[in-house]
Amino acid sequence: MKDIDERLARLGTAVPEVLLPKTGTDLEAWAVVACDQFTQDREYWSRVEARAGTAPSTLQMIFPEVYLEDGDRPARIAAIRSAMESYLEDGTFAPSVRGLVYIERKTPLQPLRRGLIVAVDLERYRWQPEERPLVRATEGTVKERIPPRMEIRRGAPVESPHVLILIDDDERRLVEGIGSRARRGKPLYDTPLMLGAGSISGWLVDAEADLSYFADELERLADKAASRYGAAAGTDEEPFLYAVGDGNHSLATAKAVWDEYKAAHDAEPCLMAHPARWALVEIENIYDEGIEFEPIHRAIFGASLSEVEDALAALPGFAARTVPDDRKLAELVADGKADKMRFGLVSAESRVLIESDAKGLSTDALQPLLDRFVAEMAGRSIDYLHGEEETIRVGRGAGAVGILLPPVGKADLFSTVARSGPLPRKSFSMGEAIEKRFYLECRRLFG
């Protein structure tokens, strides 16, 4: 095993010590969707609270971002720490197991999506656009979003991931190969997910032969990445092995907390073996049929429909027309055969289709205009929403304008990021909100 650990460490990867709740726990109540989903839907999170009830739940260990600006942050963080410590001390968690976890997820929209829980080395990840590390951000990082999240992770005794990391494995040998081996055994868990989110099953991968296979395949992908995307000799550039598909700000937060801890404890022996150097993540193959890239829509608050439309008039070849209903607007925006870039504006008063001659990603053209518009006047703000229905619902509310974005392709993600660096922030989402990563596996972090 030492040889396998050393091979994996050279590729910024480790076999984690995984914490799961003890046998008999209501896993449907335990597992909760990523905290950065349904950020404009307090009713959803109220339903989560009702389903979890008094049962052990990861809900008690996370800070749903819908509540981030409520003014009770210190009390919420204290309650999160208390829950983590209680779960560690009162037997809520079973004894930890060392291994990877192979995952099969079913969603309302996809019959199967495969994943693999591993730990990645935060020393091999940087989000700055000019950097070319082993683990790379795929979208722009808003550094102002990191400090509030650091308050939650700093000193936390437990972590649970919602970070999804993509690999470029067109031969489908790593995750899929591990899966065929893991499924010969009994699942660690098999449970429905709350509020109609589908189901999830997981298998422990701890046999030396299986971990050796994992190391073999990871080395193969690293060699391919160096050949395909380049790792310039004499530079700090590494092979582009891992692309952060979801949860980039969470990984950036983990990196910031680790850098802070490292700076304060640089004289400690064995510092670089500290658990905070690593982050628990789920690896997925970008070629998995269960992964669909969805646009991340926008909502503007504190402005009228006409004001937002005027701001977007700066788009090249701008044209606008009203559309009779929500469904028709969504269909027109999503039409992949259109020869124009399209956006949809939704408000309580009307529906407007925007067309433009802009080229490239829709966020390249749109985001600078929205940033400028929001900055021009106090009281304006922007949020990022997952799903057409949620964006339409929010847009139809008072004081809001929803902005529907067109579909995003996934085929060229690695080559684009390797060539040009991260895409504009919030350019795509891996599936709809209900399909996001659910917190389930945990790992000891501090203390």
CATH for 303:
3.30.1760.10
Do residues 285 and 300 both lie within one domain?
no
In a domain, 86, yes or no: yes
Do residues 166 and 276 both lie within one domain?
yes
In a domain, 425, yes or no: no
Would you say the C-alpha torsion 339, 340, 341, 345 has a positive or negative sign?
negative
Contacts for 372 with CB less than 8 Å, ≥ 6 apart: 311
- For β-strands 17-18 and 341-346, DSSP reports them as unpaired
CA–CA gap between residue 151 and residue 214 (Å, rounded): 35
Structural domain including 24 reads 2-292+432-444
The helix (run of H) or strand (run of E) holding residue 298 is: strand 296-301
In a domain, 413, yes or no: no
Report residue 138 CA to chain centroid gap: 11
Do residues 151 and 253 both lie within one domain?
yes
Number of Cβ atoms within 10 Å of the Cβ of 305: 20
In a domain, 424, yes or no: no
Q: What six digits make up the tokens of 442? A: 């945990």
CB-neighbour burial class of residue 222 (10 A; exposed 0-12, middle 13-18, buried 19+) = buried
CA–CA gap between residue 106 and residue 28 (Å, rounded): 14
Do residues 205 and 307 both lie within one domain?
no
Do residues 263 and 306 both lie within one domain?
no
In a domain, 91, yes or no: yes
Do residues 177 and 267 both lie within one domain?
yes
Q: What's the pLDDT at 233? A: 47
Do residues 256 and 309 both lie within one domain?
no
CB 191 within 8 A of CB 44: no
Do residues 267 and 338 both lie within one domain?
no
Domains held by the chain: number: 2
pTM of the model: 0.87
Q: What's the pLDDT at 56? A: 98
β-sheet bridge partners, residue 199: 106, 192
In a domain, 89, yes or no: yes
In a domain, 281, yes or no: yes
pLDDT tens string, the chain, 447 residues long: the values are 789 999 999 999 999 999 999 999 999 999 999 999 999 999 999 999 999 999 999 999 999 999 998 989 999 999 999 999 999 999 999 999 999 999 999 999 999 999 999 999 999 999 998 888 999 999 888 888 899 899 999 999 999 989 999 999 999 999 999 999 999 999 999 999 999 999 999 999 999 999 999 999 999 999 999 988 865 544 567 999 999 999 999 999 999 999 999 999 876 666 678 999 999 999 999 999 999 988 999 999 999 999 999 999 999 999 999 999 999 999 999 987 778 999 999 999 999 999 999 988 899 899 999 999 999 999 999 999 988 999 999 999 999 999 999 988 888 889 889 888 888 888 888 888 899 999 999 999 997
Q: What's the pLDDT at 332? A: 96
Do residues 280 and 331 both lie within one domain?
no
